[in-house]
Amino acid sequence: MLRWSLGFLVLALISAILGFGGIAGAAAGIAKILFFVFIVLVLLSFVLPVIKKPNA
């Protein structure tokens, strides 16, 4: 998912350089959303094993 986020970020930068403001804004917004989803999933993957730790 981080790869998708970086891909949309690159698309946004290239679009901004070429002057396509609407496409650049949309791609930047998608990249931002995907990045935050990635961060939430990473945090969950670290926290859930600690919470579900069996009582041994």
Residue carrying structure tokens 């998912």: 1
Is the pLDDT score of 56 beyond 60? no
Residue 33 lies in a domain: yes
Question: pLDDT digit string (tens) for 1-35?
Answer: 778 888 888 888 888 888 888 888 888 898 889 88
Taking residues 27-54, report their average pLDDT.
88
Domain that holds residue 21: 9-40
Is the pLDDT score of 48 beyond 90? no
Question: pLDDT digit string (tens) for 24-33?
Answer: 888 889 888 9
pLDDT confidence of residue 50: 85
Structural domains counted in the chain = 1
Residue 30 lies in a domain: yes
